[in-house]
């Protein structure tokens, strides 16, 4: 019965051309931008006179505004208002259809190409006109898009999506996995995720309730993805604990648990990808603590810190995210609770970043890379997933070569790499030279004279050793010393995608 109604809903959404492009064109980019800032009035005005079914659907399910029952019935001719009530999309109140859920089109591009889904989630703060409840099920947010974009998209048998929420990561994973297990501690999240899978015709996701890895005890996966509830929240009376972002543990312990238990659930060669926060305590480097979580896991690990916020800014950001307005007593009380909690552990700032873990096939980890890349990313139209996969593969490839073999290998500069030179005015020789990567993390790599000359000659034909020999002659330095000097940089440039083997 429900599945029949979902099929009718799908037909209606399809016939209404309820797509991200249609919705954006209905109210235009400025109203869309206002909506992202939490202001729906410009969008409401733009669609007020629209007779298009997509306009009605966007009014109800994106702006969260009631419409007359017959207007909704017109926009959902197959499902009808009764069907929408049965699916708990709306309730009827005095001739008005009042939204109960957010339901919006989501367009994406990933490793398998372009696609689009309709995603149901709980109504947000803009629609509710008040702070969101603690059991709120999040829609597709910035962090969801970040993790989806990071996902390594090679075909695999099994993926675990831990903390599935509305199911967005599981849906992405289902595009490259034969079977996906999606878990959540929230029954409501699982219900919505199930609904979204059915609405989008995805049948390969199995949904399970439970905390962390409990629902998959004893099971291993080719991939684990998780946008876990990593937000550091004070524990105590009066502090809301939002299921969607707060795992109920103290400080960054939840992220530590997801990381340290991943090894038990990965197949050999399996990769886990997650987002996380970590605390900087008493001026210590947070990477020392994160490194401690990795110890004894036996996993390869690559951690990229993207951002660091001071403790006060972090508290402000997340209190506001729950829909609590600044300059209110509630905000001030929570702010105090957050700062007290941080003070108790000596937390001065909080890092946010991407975590990639891999269970080595040999059983022996070879990768432990913890780095800070706080700048803008490169251009990655289908997300960073391909770059992540290429980085892991390039690390393995260069590591498998001895220095002698690497010297007999021809390397080629990647197509997205350019060289920047900066000169003091009037000087002939550059004072600064950098390689710049157009894709991936948009890295820059500093060049000395020898390395610049070597990289410049990497055309895929000449062996590295021969290039070094020619450069050494040119610079009148010892050939062996020059090779030894550039080899570590060459390995790093291969791993990070500036050079390919």
Ligand X SMILES: C[S@@+](CC[C@H](N)C(=O)[O-])C[C@H]1O[C@@H](n2cnc3c(N)ncnc32)[C@H](O)[C@@H]1O
CB nearer to ligand X: pick between 266 and 450 = 266
CB of 19 to ligand X, least distance (A): 21
Alpha-helical runs (H) found in 329-402: 329-345, 385-399
The closest alpha carbon to 202, from 289, 126, 115, belongs to 115
Q: What is the DSSP string of 269-308?
A: EEEEEEEEEEEEETT--HHHHHHHHHTTT--EEEEEEEEE
What distance in Å separates the CA atoms of residue 192 and residue 179, rounded to the nearest whole number?
Answer: 19
CB of 144 to ligand X, least distance (A): 3
The one among 83, 149, 165, 234 contacting ligand X by CB under 6 A: 165
CB of 383 to ligand X, least distance (A): 14
Asked if 169 is part of the footprint of ligand X (rule: CB under 6 A), the reply reads yes
The closest alpha carbon to 90, from 102, 79, 98, belongs to 98
CB of 120 to ligand X, least distance (A): 13
Assigned token pair, 360: 């080595």
Asked if 147 is part of the footprint of ligand X (rule: CB under 6 A), the reply reads yes
What are the counts of helices (DSSP H) followed by strands (DSSP E) for the chain? 19, 19
Q: 417-424: list long-range contacts, CB under 8 Å, 24+ apart.
A: 417/498, 419/447, 419/452, 419/455, 419/456, 420/444
Asked if 387 is part of the footprint of ligand X (rule: CB under 6 A), the reply reads no
List the interface residues with ligand X, window 37-76 (CB under 6 A): none
List the interface residues with ligand X, window 420-459 (CB under 6 A): none
CB nearer to ligand X: pick between 225 and 411 = 225
Asked if 348 is part of the footprint of ligand X (rule: CB under 6 A), the reply reads no
Asked if 144 is part of the footprint of ligand X (rule: CB under 6 A), the reply reads yes
List the interface residues with ligand X, window 203-262 (CB under 6 A): 211-212, 227-229, 243-245, 247
CB of 427 to ligand X, least distance (A): 51
Asked if 186 is part of the footprint of ligand X (rule: CB under 6 A), the reply reads yes
107 HSE (CA, 13 A, CB side): 10
Alpha-helical runs (H) found in 174-306: 187-199, 253-261, 286-294
Asked if 189 is part of the footprint of ligand X (rule: CB under 6 A), the reply reads yes
What distance in Å separates the CA atoms of residue 169 and residue 342, rounded to the nearest whole number?
Answer: 31
Asked if 122 is part of the footprint of ligand X (rule: CB under 6 A), the reply reads no
Tell me the number of residues near ligand X by CB under 6 A: 24
The one among 99, 163, 351, 439 contacting ligand X by CB under 6 A: 163
What distance in Å separates the CA atoms of residue 291 and residue 308, rounded to the nearest whole number?
Answer: 17
Phi, psi of 303 (to 5 degrees): -120, 130
Cβ–Cβ < 8 Å for 271, 221: no
Site string for ligand X, 81-120 (x = CB under 6 A): ----------------------------------------
Asked if 138 is part of the footprint of ligand X (rule: CB under 6 A), the reply reads yes
CB nearer to ligand X: pick between 125 and 184 = 184
In the sheet with 266-281, reading across from the earlier edge strand, the strands are: 205-209, 177-184, 156-162, 221-226, 266-281, 347-358, 300-310, 368-372
Asked if 164 is part of the footprint of ligand X (rule: CB under 6 A), the reply reads yes
CB nearer to ligand X: pick between 27 and 61 = 61
Span of 185-193, 296-304, 352-360, 385-393 interacting with ligand X by CB under 6 A: 185-193
CB nearer to ligand X: pick between 81 and 169 = 169
**Binding positions for ligand X, rule: CB under 6 A:** 138, 141, 144, 147, 162-165, 168-169, 183-186, 189, 211-212, 227-229, 243-245, 247
């Amino acid at each position: 019965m429900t599945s029949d109604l979902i099929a009718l809903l799908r037909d209606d959404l399809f016939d209404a051309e309820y797509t991200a492009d249609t919705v954006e064109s209905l109210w235009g980019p400025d109203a869309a931008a206002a909506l992202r800032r939490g202001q729906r009035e410009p969008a409401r005005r733009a669609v007020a006179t629209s007779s298009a079914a997509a306009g009605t659907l966007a009014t109800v399910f994106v702006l969260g505004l009631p419409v007359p029952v017959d207007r909704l019935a017109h926009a959902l001719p197959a499902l009808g208002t009764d069907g929408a009530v049965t699916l708990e999309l709306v309730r009827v109140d005095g001739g008005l259809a009042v939204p109960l859920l957010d339901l919006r089109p989501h367009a994406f591009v990933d490793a398998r190409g372009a696609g689009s889904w309709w995603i149901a989630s709980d109504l947000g703060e803009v629609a509710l006109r008040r702070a969101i409840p603690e059991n709120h099920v999040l829609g597709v947010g910035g962090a969801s898009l970040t993790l989806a974009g990071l996902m390594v998209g090679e075909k695999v048998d099994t993926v675990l999506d831990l903390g599935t929420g509305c199911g967005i990561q599981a849906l992405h994973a289902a595009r490259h996995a034969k079977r996906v297990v999606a878990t959540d501690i929230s029954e409501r999240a699982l219900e919505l995720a199930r609904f979204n899978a059915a609405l989008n015709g995805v049948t390969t996701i199995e949904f399970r309730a439970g905390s962390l890895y409990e629902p998959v005890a004893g099971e291993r996966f080719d991939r684990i993805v998780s946008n876990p509830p990593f937000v550091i929240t004070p524990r105590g009376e009066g502090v809301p604990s939002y299921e969607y972002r707060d795992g109920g543990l103290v400080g960054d312990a939840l992220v530590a648990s997801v990381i340290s238990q991943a090894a038990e659930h990965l197949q050999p060669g399996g990769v886990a990808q997650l987002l996380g926060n970590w605390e900087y305590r008493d001026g210590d480097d947070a990477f020392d603590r994160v490194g401690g979580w990795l110890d004894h896991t036996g996993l390869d690990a690559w951690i990229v810190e993207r951002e660091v916020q001071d403790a006060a800014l972090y508290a402000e950001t997340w209190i506001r995210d729950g829909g609590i307005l600044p300059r209110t007593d509630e905000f001030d009380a929570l702010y105090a609770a957050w700062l007290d909690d941080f003070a108790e552990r000596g937390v001065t700032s909080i890092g946010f970043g991407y975590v990639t873990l891999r269970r080595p096939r040999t059983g022996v980890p070879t990768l432990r890379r913890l780095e800070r890349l706080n700048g803008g990313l490169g251009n990655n139209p289908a997300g960073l997933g391909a770059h992540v996969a290429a980085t892991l593969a390039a690390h393995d490839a260069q590591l498998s070569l001895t220095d002698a073999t690497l010297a007999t290998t021809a390397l080629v500069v990647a197509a997205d790499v350019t060289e920047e030179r900066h000169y003091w005015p009037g000087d002939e020789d550059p004072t600064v030279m950098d390689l710049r990567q157009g894709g991936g993390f948009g890295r820059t790599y500093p060049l000395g004279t020898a390395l610049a000359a070597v990289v410049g000659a990497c055309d895929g034909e000449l062996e590295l050793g021969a290039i070094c020999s020619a450069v050494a002659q040119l610079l009148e330095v010892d050939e062996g010393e020059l090779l030894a000097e550039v080899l570590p940089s060459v390995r790093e440039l291969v791993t990070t995608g500036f050079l390919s083997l």
